[in-house]
Amino acid sequence: MLAEDVKGMRAKHRILAEKSFQVVELDKGYSNRYLRVDLTTKEISMHAVTEKMKELWTGGKGFDLWLMLLEINNKTKWDSQENPICFSSGPLGGTTSFPGTGKTLLTSISPLTNIPIDSNVGGYFGPFLKFAGFDALVIVGKSEEEVVVVLDAANQKITIETAPAESNDSHLLADELTCMYADTEIDRHNIAVVSSGSAAKHSRIGMLNFSFWDWRRGVSRLKQAGRGGIGMVFCDKGLKALVAKNRDITPSWRIEESKVAHHTNPKTISTQDCPEEIAFIDDIIHRWKDDKEYVIEMMQDIQKRFRHISRTAIDRINKFTGTSKAYLYHIATFYKSLSLDEKGEITIQVCMGTACHVKGSARIVDRLEQVLGIKCGETTKDKKYSLEAVACLGACSIAPVIKVGDKVLGNVQAKDVEKIIKDPKIFDIARVME
């Protein structure tokens, strides 16, 4: 993207509304405020996040729907002015330890069903919103002219601007806006662009495209997310794009005193001193030819053999492949199939996704905790079972769903738990679904 082209495009922008704000430091993962933008009145306002709201946020469910209920009434349709698009990055904005992996919950009334939808947009947008200074963003109203909303934490202002010269294609638009709002080349890492693309104008199943700067390739890349036609709602509001710009390279951060932080930051990361085990680890790494392109595969093999990734394993991969330890820890804590803590022989995962949540998966977790004598996120002393809460397991129609080892069980009830633990035959899905 040529700098002159971008300058020419920006010169055509008209600022329709602007509001300054002070960036605040996160307090245990919260900025304690959310942003509301009304595209009809061009009003930009900030609102407090209260303790009650934080309770609703626990587990990532509830808060986004609550924000939506503040805006809608029983006549609201998907294309009503008041139908909001709510982006909620929750207390974590992703994981507690490693930014850049964070999730955001996205809520609106769907043009497909005219009822609220709530989707989990994984990937990168959560931390962008969080580090730009807000726990959530609510967009309501409709703009007569197509606009971009720019949340710029570096310059501490939010603007609603026309953007008549930029492309409609999401790939090009993301590149143009990223180059436009970045002060330097490295600053492109700090920018995420959300757009629906022109296809959403014609399709009720339009998704949203979330961009992030791919430093390896030197381009903006897109991740498609947001189901239920939310792209169409975005388009219908006259929104061409939403740009979130962080203050600086996303800072490294942690939430202490949090249940989730406890699970993701094991106090002690084990080491392996046994020469045979080290030789085994080295063997795995050499099998992948010490190639840094295959560090995930190496870690999967190590996890399979030792049921965890030890500090020793991280050190050996770092030594042979030259991959930074920070990156390796990032991988080890990002993928659910990898773990820094030694897992049990059998991992029981309980889905806490929306469908399972509303059908009582929390009761299943409670019962499993009682029967196994451990808390969620822990492993039994005999290393037989590990218990985990996870997001959607992809079998929502048979919610609530749990996964025992590699078997998926549907329509599970809390009263089934003991049978599942005691009787291996219960691992047959058909029995549970009877």
Residues within the interface to ligand FES (CB under 6 A): 351, 353-356, 392-396, 399, 401
Least separation, in Å, of the C-beta of 227 and ligand FES? 12
Chain Cα centroid distance, residue 314: 25
Cβ of residue 355: shortest distance to ligand FES, in angstroms? 4
Nearest distance in Å: CB 391, ligand FES: 7
Which residue, 97 or 354, has its beta carbon nearer to ligand FES?
354
- Of 277, 304, 300, 303, nearest to 288 (Cα)? 300
Query: What's the min distance (Å) between Cβ of 120 and ligand FES?
Result: 10
Q: How far is the CB of 360 from ligand FES (least distance, A)?
A: 11
Residue closer to ligand FES by CB (options 173, 417) is 417
Q: Which is nearer to ligand FES, 99 or 410 (CB)?
A: 410
- Least distance in angstroms from the C-beta of 357 to ligand FES: 7
Look at residue 150 and give its three-state secondary structure: strand
- Whichever of 83 and 119 has its CB closer to ligand FES, that residue is 119
Nearer to ligand FES, 61 or 240 (CB): 61
Q: What order of strands is seen across the sheet that includes strand 385-390?
A: 385-390, 346-351, 402-404, 407-409
Nearest-CA neighbor of 23 among 14, 11, 12, 32?
32
- Residue given tokens 């959300």 in the structure block: 194
In the complex, the smallest distance separating the C-beta of residue 350 from ligand FES, rounded to whole angstroms, is 9
Identify whether 99 is preceded by a cis peptide bond (ω within 30 of 0): no
* Measured CA angle at 194 (ends 54, 84), to 5 deg: 50
CB-wise, 196 or 361, nearer to ligand FES? 361
Nearer to ligand FES (CB atom), residue 194 or residue 376: 376
Q: Which is nearer to ligand FES, 139 or 399 (CB)?
A: 399
Nearer to ligand FES among residue 65 and residue 219 (C-beta): 65
Nearest alpha-carbon partner for 284 in 259, 258, 261, 310: 310
Smallest gap from Cβ 404 to ligand FES, in A, equals 14
3-state secondary structure of 299: helix
First-to-last C-alpha distance (Å) of the chain: 59
Decide: helix, strand or coil at residue 14.
Answer: coil
Amino acid at site 375: K
- Least Å distance, CB 106 to ligand FES, is 15
Alpha carbon 105 to its chain's center: 8
Which one, 23 or 396, has the nearer CB to ligand FES? 396
120: which 2 tokens? 């989990």
Alpha carbons within 13 angstroms on the beta-carbon side of residue 231 total 23
Strands 385-390 and 15-20 turn out to be: unpaired
The strand pair at 104-109 and 116-121 is best described as: antiparallel
Give CA separation, 294 vs 284, 300, 321, 322, 336, in Å. 11, 10, 9, 12, 18
The span from the CA of 274 to the CA of 72, in Å, is: 61
Q: How far is the CB of 389 from ligand FES (least distance, A)?
A: 11
Residue type, 321: T
Give the Cα separation of 420 and 75 in Å (integer): 45
Q: How many CA atoms lie within 13 A of 103 on its CB side?
A: 15
